[in-house]
Chain A
Amino acid sequence: MLAYIARRLMFLPIILFGVTVLLFAMLQLLDPYERLSLYVRDPSQLRGGKEQLDRLIEKYGLADPLYLQYGRWVSKFVQGDFGWSETAKTTVLNGFLGRFPATVELTLFAIGPILFFAIWLGVISAVHHNRWIDQLTRVITILGYSLPSFVLGLVLLMAFYGLLSRHLPPLFSGWFSPGRLSEWAQQIASSEGFHAYTRLVTVDALLNGQWRVFWDAVGHLILPVMTLSYVNWAGFLRIMRSSMLETLRQDYVTTARAKGVEERRVIKKHARRNALIPIVTLSGFLVVGLLSGVVITETIFGYPGLGQWAAQAALQLDVPSVLGLLTFVTILFIVVNLIVDLLYAVVDPRVRLT
């Protein structure tokens, strides 16, 4: 098993080299003035004319050959310096460390409902195949498929924050509002007496004994988690349903039934476990997707995760940030895929890792 893991991880630097060289090569298709748009962000900053633009190009080495620019990045990278992020307004590493906990928190809260509802409703639909409950979940699923996250997010925000929040009892004060915390809770979380052990505000609030802050943080997570969950579980539900249907038609299920095994036991012990294999595969992609950031959900709910930053960096040609995020996503992808492969062996005893 360890040899298998080591072999898989050996691919990491090769893949990293490939994707970063590819990105640098693609950027060479733009001329230095176009890449300067990162530093000269709008027409009002063209005050110094071409002379100032040329100074900036020289300062940031934008006209240097590809190998020089790439070499500079690599030499810093191996020293743990990922460069400066013009979009995050800090170093790439600090930008990442500042946003990643928010993304992790959102992922941790969203992944449970997504998988729980997908598996639960998927199994129910398959067991009640073509009955009205199956039709109903199909309708809900189609809605989830076809509802863009920005529409759902905005509707939820308007309904819960715009209308409902004003009528809530004081216990729910600050719930559903955008951001990670209300202003008063933010002040507590930023104070010297509050220790950020994990930078996950819910966890840190509990560890600091700040129940009100914890409650406020949970209230801020509900809408983004609802949005992410609904948009994502629709797909998972369909896959779980078809996988379950497929499994229920297998000979060993028929055999189990013929042997008089209780139906509940057939579904839970014999069919559901096998039907989970495609869900395990897709869960890996889901985790990578969520941890890489969810642009629209974060933007609508003012949630300071990686997604907003990644989108802004890509749009503004912020090369150091894009490279930093690309490195992270590549590592994440490889590690998560590895974990998924290991999980196959757990779920399906026939799988052997060599």
Chain B
Amino acid sequence: MNGNSNILLIILAIAAVVVLGFLALKPSAPPATPEQPTPVEKPAKPEKPTEPQKPQEEPPAPSEQPTTPQKPEQPQQPTVQPLTGPIKNPDTLIVADLSDIDTLDPQFAYDTASGEIIFHVYDNLIMYDGPSTEKFLPMLATQVPSLENGLITENPDGSVVIRFPIRQGIKFHNGNALTAEDVAYSFQRLMLMDRSGGPSWLVLSPLLNVNTIADMAKVIEAERTGQNADEIDFQAVSPETLVATCERVKQAVRVNGNDVEFSLPKPFPPFLSIVAQSASWAAIIDQEWATEQGAWDGSCDTWKAHYDPQKENDPLYEKMNGTGPFMLERWDHATGDISLVRNDNYWRGPAKLARIVIKKVNEFSTRKLMLQNGDADIATINRKFVDQVDGTPGVRLIKGQLRMTLGFVLFNQKITKEGNPYIGSGQLDGNGIPPDFFSDIDVRKGFNYAFDWETFIREAIKNEAEQAKGPIPRGVQFFNPENPVYHLDLKKAEEHFKRAWDGQLWQKGFKFTAPYLVDDQASKTLFEILKRNLQKLNPKFDIETVNLEWSALLGQSVKGTLPVYSAGWLEDYHDAHNWVFPLMHSQGTYATATNMGTQYDALIDRGIKELDPTKRQEIYYELQRLAYEDAIAIFTDQPLGRHYQQRWVDGYYFNPIWPGRNFYPLSKRLDAKPNMEYVTQLGLVVEEW
């Protein structure tokens, strides 16, 4: 090749890069019809998602419907051009996601990414009725138990028996028939496996009144030997105790003919919510198949060998065999992608889509381009990037979905002083704070009045959240829409700060450091808003911020050195108890970490034992009032979610209780329309381009 052709090549290469660079910066052109690598299926007829047969008995009516405090926005009518041209991958739904699936074992899983897969492969005894967060429908059970239909009975000693008649003729994916024994086995395995950090406590607590199976064994060993249960080493308990522990578990969940009975030592109103929660723990697995894989065989002599397994030793870690609408096809550990295929024999009728592929795509730009090009039908878009996706041709956005999560700032009322880099001098001298700084109610109230919700929600959450009204979010039964809330009021903040610490606080000032998780821009904004307002009040008030890696934040939070921290709670099950307990009970996750004390314990314990909804409402209203009166935290926000999908995806609706999306009712069709009934009912907003 001569010199001239070399030069020509180089010039052409540079010109190509420059032109492509310019093209990349230009706004996207309207979507051209994508090429289709596989033949197009005939669009399916529009139909409503198939639900199980109508329940024979109505579930107990909730005493109070959740009230929507804001007037729902009118859904926008789509004005875009109808879709033309073939649909990419017409019978396969591709999701561009970014979360890691932890395990496929329902009794091991305790995260939403795993829960989303389990939700589609396994079924529960009962389920929530479509997007409703209040009404149950039977699933593998034929009826939803209630006092009225006699499936819930109260015994004179205060114990409760809940009976689930099991549906007949249902097959697991491998062809085995579902039996009542499988149902009992699933719950027994959950309790006896009790993996550390896992979900077993959710069932152990109402059924056996303990948080771990080891605690149960210690209690039994103490009964047998007369030792103090706290001094017993679980690893050293006798074989007889292990058998007795297992028998107690089997007594708590037993088969009676074609029914499965759960015996609760005392009333536990949210039990049905726990059983209906489709996150994982209440999924029904096949005992015969599980035993063949090497899981617990159901014998009381062998359970200890399967107790608290490491993930690599769990035989069901990457195997699935449920009764659900999809079957596991492949979990690729190299890519993180997972694919499911349709169960053509599904008892509620086969799903419309033949395959679901969830791709792990860490990079936002790649997810966005996959959505833009039609290579992803649904994509997860973080809030900070939504402006870059809105307006993408061919995409439909459904926003305003109320999430069952709350954000809050917790005050540590008894900060660990030793080796604490966040409290300065450790004294009220203007250069630090004393360890019990937040034990003064006026300090907590002052902070609440100094916080600007409007700015926070606008700047940090792009107006896609509501101000939280206390420890119970909207959408949960017994949420009080009239509960008082704090608003920015610097005058009142000043009054409280002047009263705090007998007036010394105002004179001397304070200084501390607020750590937040690295990349958590919302928390950073939150603390900056607080700092700005506090300094307006008194220049001697100062908050510094520092971002920490998760490992460091975890270590510091366990040590109790964090003076304040911004956190959130995602419910385990849909009941007010699962909100007040972690935040206000002395044994709750956050209340323990902030040393809140025991003043609310009695009321919370009463609430969970009470069956009468009217009385329960009084209790939870009172707890919400106390949370306000005592300013236990700054309840910042209840977020509203967004869902981005191709316009050709049909049948989408959402329930905030699900661990993720529901692919069962979805299909892909050119005339797909948003489900306006659902959109209107929940006050959502639909935009499409």
Contact = CB atoms under 8 A, between A and B. Distances in A.
Interface in B504-563: 517, 549-555, 557-559
Contacts of A184: 37-38, 89
B267 interface: no
A210 interface: no
Interface in B85-100: 89, 92, 94, 100
B37 A182 contact: yes
A256 interface: no
B333 A95 contact: yes
A41 B332 CA distance: 21
Given A33-B554, A95-B333, A178 B361 contact: yes
Interface string A63-92: 000000000000000000000101011110
B31 A157 contact: no
Contact of B94 (A41, A48, A59, A183): A183
B236 interface: no
Interface in A149-175: 154-168, 170, 173-174
Interface in A208-253: none
Given A53-B558, A59-B310, A304 B37 contact: no
A322 to B, nearest CB: 14
Given A166-B31, A304-B334, A308-B362, A91 B558 contact: no
A34 B555 contact: yes
A7 interface: no
Given A161-B373, A302-B361, A56 B366 contact: no
Interface stretch (B16-24, B224-232, B493-501): B16-24
B359 A179 contact: yes
Given A162-B369, A300-B366, A179 B24 contact: no
A259 interface: no
Given A30-B551, A34-B555, A157-B369, A84 B334 contact: no
A346 B75 CA distance: 74
B110 interface: yes
B363 A304 contact: no
Contacts of A99: 334
Interface residues of B, number: 74
B20 A173 contact: no
A302 B359 contact: yes
A40 B554 contact: yes
A272 interface: no
A320 B332 CA distance: 20
Interface string B197-229: 100010000000001100000000000000000
Contact of A44 (B100, B363, B570, B588): B570
Most chain B CB atoms below 10 A, which of A37, A42, A102, A183: A183
B357 interface: yes
Contacts of B602: none
B357 A183 contact: yes
Task: Determine the main DSSP class of B at the interface with A.
Answer: mixed
Contacts of A94: 333
B24 A98 contact: no
Nearest to B19: A159
Contacts of B38: 184
A108 to B, nearest CB: 18
A95 B312 CA distance: 13
Contacts of B458: none
Nearest to A30: B551
Nearest to B565: A43
A177 B333 contact: no
Contact of A45 (B23, B197, B593): B197
Interface stretch (B6-14, B157-165, B251-259, B293-301): B6-14
A273 interface: no
B365 interface: yes
A317 interface: yes
Nearest to B11: A136
8 contacts: A48-B197, A55-B308, A128-B3, A162-B24, A165-B373, A183-B89, A301-B366, A308-B362
Given A84-B312, A95-B334, A304-B335, 16 more contacts: A33-B554, A34-B555, A36-B554, A37-B555, A40-B197, A56-B196, A89-B102, A140-B14, A159-B24, A162-B369, A163-B20, A164-B23, A178-B370, A183-B37, A300-B365, A300-B366
